[in-house]
Chains A and B, each alone.
Chain A
Amino acid sequence: MKKLLTAAVLSAALATPVLADTTKVGFIYIGPVGDFGWTAGHDRARREMVEHFGDAVETTIVENVDYGADAERVMTQMAISGMDMIFAASFGYGPDVNAVAGRFPNVAFQHATGYIQDHPNISLYDARFYEGRAVLGHIAGKMTETNTIGYIASYPIPAVVSGINSAYLHAKAVNPDVSFRIIWTYSWFDPALEADAAETLIEQGADVIMQHTDSTAAIRVAEDAGVMAFGQASDMVEFGPNAHLTAIVDRWAPYYISRVQAVMDGTWEAQNSWLGFADGIIEMAPWNDRMPAELQAEADALVAAIAAGEYHPFTGPINKQDGTPWLADGEVAPDVDLATMNFYVEGITAELPN
């Protein structure tokens, strides 16, 4: 309900008269820009993009747009009102983007973390979050004293599942006794529920909390309980100066700038981009001082190795949860396996919901 209500539209170029050659770009977000997480990351990139182009670009944002009819309505409205380009910044917009893109072949659609590409005017883009999760897993495995890591997950989609697997493998590699406790919230943003989930995990013995949900509530709870946590999508250190070890920070700006530039130049083409540390699309927030210098150096080295392409977080031998082999010794996971991942790796005891 709130989604249709809070549709706050703001225009970046209010003061200047709209020129004929202004590129109009629309953004739809699943959460509020003030979530300090996922949506904040996209809006940060949008602002950097506007700063880069100045008056040559005019942006419109709509926050809190639900998947389905709402998203379709908002994007249709944007297309009708003359947008040249629309960024749909959440996984679940897939069917809606494809429905609208079919009706407006002259509008360039950019869908974040999606996988459906039925029309030539849809580009998909995603970040290799599992690269960052590998670093988090390594740190968590080293820092935990109870050998229990709590994980607050949103929806069982490939990006989240591969994140859990990556974190688990790298925690296990440095700490064979480590175990993961996982809670699915079935929501991207619900501060009260995420706080409750964090409390539950801590109560059940977790002393490091990881989250793949967008609010800062879990960091706050971890800070109060005196345990450790990682931020999500943005540097969340201000919410828990002691608890916050680091965060995977999304930096979409370089990509947004290059794609808007392509529309301006008339060279825009549908792509499927999956970018990671190497492209500067994700980076780690500054390490917390409570991490030993040695561990900080290890984490730095891990980031560098992944960025340089020397190390892939999913390098065999890796078995699936049921013991069947997935990757042979030395084999690197193909992208298609990661993009469709729907299984846990061996060692995780929880059951993956459908």
Chain B
Amino acid sequence: MILGSINPAVLLAALMVAATPILLAAIGELVVEKAGVLNLGVEGMMIMGACIGFIVAVNTGSPFIGFIGAALGGMALALLFALLTQALMTNQVASGLALTLFGLGLTALLGQRYVGITPPRTPKLDLGPLSDIPFLGRALFTHDIVVYLSIVLVAAVWWFLKYSRAGMILRAVGENHDAAHALGYHVKRVRVLAIMFGGACAGLGGAYLSLIRVPQWTEGMTVGAGWIALALVVFASWRPWRALAGAYLFGGVVVLQLNLQAAGVRIPVEYLSMSPYLITILVLVIISSGKGRSLDAPGSLNRPFHASS
């Protein structure tokens, strides 16, 4: 055992980076599901963001504009989902899966000319003396702006859902769309806005992969991150701070097992790398065993709404 070669501060820093893409996607999907819509197309919207963000960043030379492009790209795909499920009343599960399919295929096509290109560097945020603090400085204050943005976003979503009037309307729509409709709220308008927000967040998460974490464009590069984000929302039982905790837990397990392996620690790594998925399955089992109420699944989740019904 050579645990001495693992630097905990670096581990913590790497964990935050590994968690950020799924956290961004999960916080977006959380809002969507709070509005009563189940969008399984997170993977598709993420890869769209990864691709569009990359293309925009390369062509403009600015990672910042790239991230905006990624958010718009994810949102564009989400709008397609909104059109299908809210206007044309298609099945949400099928539409979401189709969205993932479409996103993976479309980006493989769009990104063809961008393989092998280096994107413009995203600068680390200069936090001055903060990053000189021993341990904490390296772990918490040496990141790029998107890592901090993702935490701010969690706080904002938490505040929005809990304290703002608009957030309460959104939750009402998600809990019982008939009642919300009877009260005069525009169920579909709220849902379309939520879906767009979810798409933008997923797009940002994807761009974080292609512009910062990897950083390059490769076809299919999200490799299931969207599905993990979806599971994370359930794991977090639709609470923003728990999504943050879950994402960091997941990122932590991933990074820790890599470090333990590299350090030559003799543990069965296959089980460790499996653990986040096992926990997710466990949570899903608990929910489906009838205790879902206590886990706060929105009441109208995945139920189509039509004003006449």
Contact = CB atoms under 8 A, between A and B. Distances in A.
Contacts of A197: 258, 262
A168 to B, nearest CB: 14
Interface range on chain A: under 10, 10 to 19, 20 to 34, or 35 or more?
35 or more
B262 A191 contact: no
A342 to B, nearest CB: 15
Interface residues of B, number: 46
Contact of A203 (B7, B116, B218): B7
B48 interface: no
Interface string B16-34: 0010010000000000000
Contact of B224 (A2, A199, A217, A238): A2
A186 interface: yes
Interface string A324-354: 0000000000000000000000000111010
A38 B218 CA distance: 14
Q: Is the interface of B mostly helix, strand, loop or mixed?
A: helix
A2 B43 contact: yes
Interface stretch (B97-105, B123-131, B164-172): B97-105
Main secondary structure of the interface of A (DSSP, over half): mixed
A51 to B, nearest CB: 20
A35 B221 CA distance: 9
B268 interface: yes
Interface in A154-201: 181-184, 186-187, 189-193, 195-197, 199-201
Given A189-B223, A192-B213, A181 B264 contact: yes
B214 interface: yes
Contacts of A111: none
A64 interface: yes
A271 B10 CA distance: 51
Interface in B252-284: 254-255, 258-259, 261-264, 266, 268-270, 273
A2 B220 contact: yes
A293 interface: no
Contact of A195 (B115, B214, B264): B214
Interface of A: 1-2, 5-6, 8, 31-36, 64, 150, 181-184, 186-187, 189-193, 195-197, 199-201, 203-206, 215-217, 220, 238-239, 349-351, 353
Closest 6 CB pairs of A and B: A34-B219, A5-B101, A32-B219, A200-B258, A183-B261, A238-B116
Interface of B: 5-7, 10, 14, 18, 21, 43, 97, 100-101, 104-105, 108, 111-112, 115-116, 118, 209, 213-216, 218-225, 227, 254-255, 258-259, 261-264, 266, 268-270, 273
